[in-house]
């Protein structure tokens, strides 16, 4: 075992029904996944929606529930644990709260915690160790074995989730590998997860047609990652072959009732009767601009948009 990982076996966790509480281990597993996905690139960790959503995913895998995840608890209390070089987790409190740190009680919500800090430093030695994919896998195995071995269902679900997440993270760091045929089922799951993650983040979880953006209190996203050229035909999971769409508009696009074109506008199929009141939600989209990612690297490929327009119902 890597020397830097030994601190992971000494977390100060509470117990529920005779088993270690999952909060801190799930947060650390989320951080490991985000490091391997290339989202966390330094020991300074931003408390953003992506990290919190990942924590909810892992908490659900460990407990079967998302609603009781309470991410503010491990984000606050992990500062009481020791890493190889010092504090395992050091919140960077806002200037007006730094002097009052000793008097601050436990935050009651994630919003209240973010009023206190939005970034924290992970122990530098541990962060450097987790740059290695192999060491990250060892760290995940260590945390799951140490804190979830008494729950066979949690152990199994976490093993499956983490295996997919770490393989998916490799694709996220190298999105050029998301094109080409898929042979193994695990590869299919990992590529699909990477496609979803890259597309939704590129569009900031906002629908490319309706502009709707909504994240539930338990961190589920309204939008889905939709292929422009279907995977069965293209074997292409690169984010440039995708859009973020709400489920109803994803269905409408895959049914060839609407299509984004190379002109970066939405087009309506002539098969949709504009005189039918129930079709208004589709008709109002005709000619509207396509919401594009801010990063030009992830903007939809022109040939993929052309494919969609060519397959619009006539």
What confidence tens digit (pLDDT) does each residue in 70-88 have?
Answer: 999 999 999 999 999 999 9
Q: Decide if 45 is inside a domain.
A: yes
Tell me which residue of 228, 233, 234 sits closest to 266, measured CA to CA.
Answer: 228
Helix 152-173 × helix 49-63 angle, to 10°: 150
Is residue 181 situated within a structural domain? no
Q: Which two tokens stand for residue 241?
A: 């072959």
Rounded to an integer, the average pLDDT of 188-195 is: 94
pLDDT digits (tens, 9 = 90+) for 175-186: 999 999 887 888
From 74, 80, 79, 76, select the one nearest 28 (Cα to Cα): 74
**pLDDT at site 38:** 96
| Domain identity same for 231 and 148 | no
Residues 85, 218 share a domain: no
CB-CB contact of 270 with 314 (8 Å): yes
Verify that 54 and 139 share a domain, yes or no: yes
pLDDT at position 1: 63
pLDDT (tens digit, 9 = 90+) per residue, 99-144? 666 577 899 999 999 999 999 999 999 999 999 999 999 999 999 9
In a domain, 178, yes or no: no
* Residue 134: per-residue pLDDT: 96
The total domain count for the chain is: 2
Is residue 187 one of the residues assigned to a domain?
no
State the pLDDT at residue 235: 95
Question: Do 29 and 105 sit in the same domain of this protein?
Answer: yes
Of 37-41, 101-105, 220-224, the least confident: 101-105
Chosen domain end from 127, 145, 171: 171
CA distances from 138 to 41, 102, 144, 149, 289 (A): 19, 35, 10, 15, 47
Is 0.75 topped by the overall pTM?
yes
Q: What value does the mean pLDDT take over residues 264-268?
A: 98
Rounded Cα distance between 103 and 97, Å, is 10
Q: Is residue 34 part of a domain?
A: yes
In a domain, 296, yes or no: yes
Query: What is the span of the domain harbouring residue 229?
Result: 205-310
Task: Note whether 154 and 12 are same-domain residues.
Answer: yes
Asked if 17 and 156 sit in the same domain, the reply is yes
Same domain membership, residue 298 and residue 250: yes
pLDDT exceeds cutoff 90 at 171: yes
Task: List, as own/partner pairs, every contact residues 40-47 make where C-beta atoms lie below 8 angstroms and the sequence separation is at least 24, other chains included.
Answer: 42/127, 43/121, 43/122, 43/123, 43/124, 43/127, 44/92, 44/119, 44/120, 44/121, 45/119, 45/120, 45/121, 45/122, 46/118, 46/119, 47/75, 47/113, 47/114, 47/117, 47/118, 47/119, 47/120
Same domain, yes or no, for 160 and 210?
A: no
In-domain check, residue 197: no
Task: Note whether residue 91 is domain-resident.
Answer: yes
């Amino acid at each position: 075992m890597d020397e830097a990982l030994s601190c992971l076996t000494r977390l100060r966790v509470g117990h529920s029904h005779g088993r270690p509480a999952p909060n801190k281990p799930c947060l650390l597993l989320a951080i490991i996944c985000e490091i391997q996905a290339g989202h966390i690139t330094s020991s300074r960790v931003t408390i953003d929606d992506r990290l919190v959503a990942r924590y909810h995913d892992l908490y659900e895998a460990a407990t079967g529930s998302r609603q009781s995840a309470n991410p503010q608890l491990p984000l606050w209390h992990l500062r009481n644990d020791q890493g190889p070089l010092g504090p395992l987790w050091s919140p960077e409190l806002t200037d007006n709260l730094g002097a009052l740190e000793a008097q601050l009680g436990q935050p009651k919500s994630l919003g209240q915690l973010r009023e206190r800090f939005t970034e924290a430093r992970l122990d530098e030695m541990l962060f450097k160790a987790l740059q290695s994919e192999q060491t990250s896998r060892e760290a995940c195995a260590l945390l799951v074995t140490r804190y979830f071995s008494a729950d066979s269902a949690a152990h199994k679900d976490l093993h499956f989730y983490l295996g997919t997440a770490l393989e998916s993270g490799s694709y996220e760091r190298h999105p050029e590998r998301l094109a080409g045929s898929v042979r193994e089922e695990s590869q299919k799951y990992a590529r699909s997860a990477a496609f979803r993650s890259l597309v939704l983040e590129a569009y900031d979880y906002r629908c490319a047609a309706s502009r709707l953006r909504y994240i539930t209190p338990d961190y589920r996203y309204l939008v889905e990652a939709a292929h422009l050229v279907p995977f069965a035909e293209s074997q292409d999971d690169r984010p440039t072959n995708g859009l973020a769409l709400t489920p109803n508009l994803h269905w409408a696009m895959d049914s060839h009732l609407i299509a984004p074109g190379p002109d970066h506008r939405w087009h309506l199929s002539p098969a949709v009767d504009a005189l039918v009141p129930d079709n208004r939600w589709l008709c109002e989209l005709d000619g509207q601009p396509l919401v594009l990612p801010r990063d030009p690297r992830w903007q939809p490929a022109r040939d993929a948009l052309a494919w969609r327009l060519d397959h619009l119902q006539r």
